[in-house]
Amino acid sequence: MTGAQLLRHVAAGRSPGATLVYRPGPTAAFGRVDRLRPGYEAAQAAARRHGFEPMLREGGGHAVVYDERSVVLEEVTPSADIASGIQPRFEAGTARIVAALRSLGLEPQVGELPGEYCAGGHSVSLDGIKVAGTAQRVIRGAALFAAVVLVGGGDAIRAALTDIYSALELDWEPSTAGAIQDVSPDVTPEAIEAALVRSPHGGKSAR
C-alpha cells in the first residue's frame, strides 16, 4: 500500500495510521506549480532522458528526482482538522530524519539553503547539499508527511535537475543538489533505511 492509498484508508477510518520506509524506483516528481509552467512538457522529456520517470505529486513545490539509491519515508496519521497540526508534523518528521542521520555519525542541518531546488524550511542538508526534502498532504480525516532521503547518485541528481529546471525556467543553485554519499561515501541506502526504521516513531520497511 502506498502512502496515498493509506491516507485514504486512514481518512475513512479503516486504518489507525502507519509509517512506511521504502526504496523507490527512478522518479521525477513534479509539483502542481510545475504543470502550469510553459516548459513542463520539455521538463518531463528531460527527466526521461536522464532515466527518471515523470509523475505529478500531490504535495510539495517544484521538481525533485530520486531512485533506488534513495529512501522514502511516509507517515500517515489521523487528523480531525485540515488546518491544524501542519507545523508539528513537519517538526516531528524532520526530527526523525535528523535523528536517523546522526545515528550514523552525520551532522545534518535543517533549513532552506540559499538557492536550493524545491526550497523548503524543513529541508535537511549536509555541507551545503540538500539530502532530504519534506512535504505534506492533508485531507479531511488524515494527514500524510512524506520525505525523500537522497543517499547515492548525486551526479545523476544534479545533471537531471539542471536540465529539468532549465526547461521550467527556474533559477536555482546547482551546488545544492546531491546526495549523502557526496559527503560520506560509506553511508549506504540500506543503512539509512534501517536507521529510519529504528528512529523515534520509526516505521516498517515496505520493501
Query: Which CATH code for domain 3-199?
Result: 3.30.930.10
- pLDDT tens digits for range 93-107: 999 999 999 999 999
- pLDDT tens digits for range 123-137: 999 999 999 999 999
Q: Rounded CA gap, 184 and 200, in Å?
A: 23
- pLDDT tens digits for range 136-192: 999 999 999 999 999 999 999 999 999 999 999 999 999 999 999 999 999 999 999
Q: Rounded CA gap, 101 and 118, in Å?
A: 21
- The pLDDT of residue 1 is 77
The pTM of this model reads 0.92
Q: Residue 42 has which C-alpha cell?
A: 520539455
Share of the chain above pLDDT 70, in %: 95
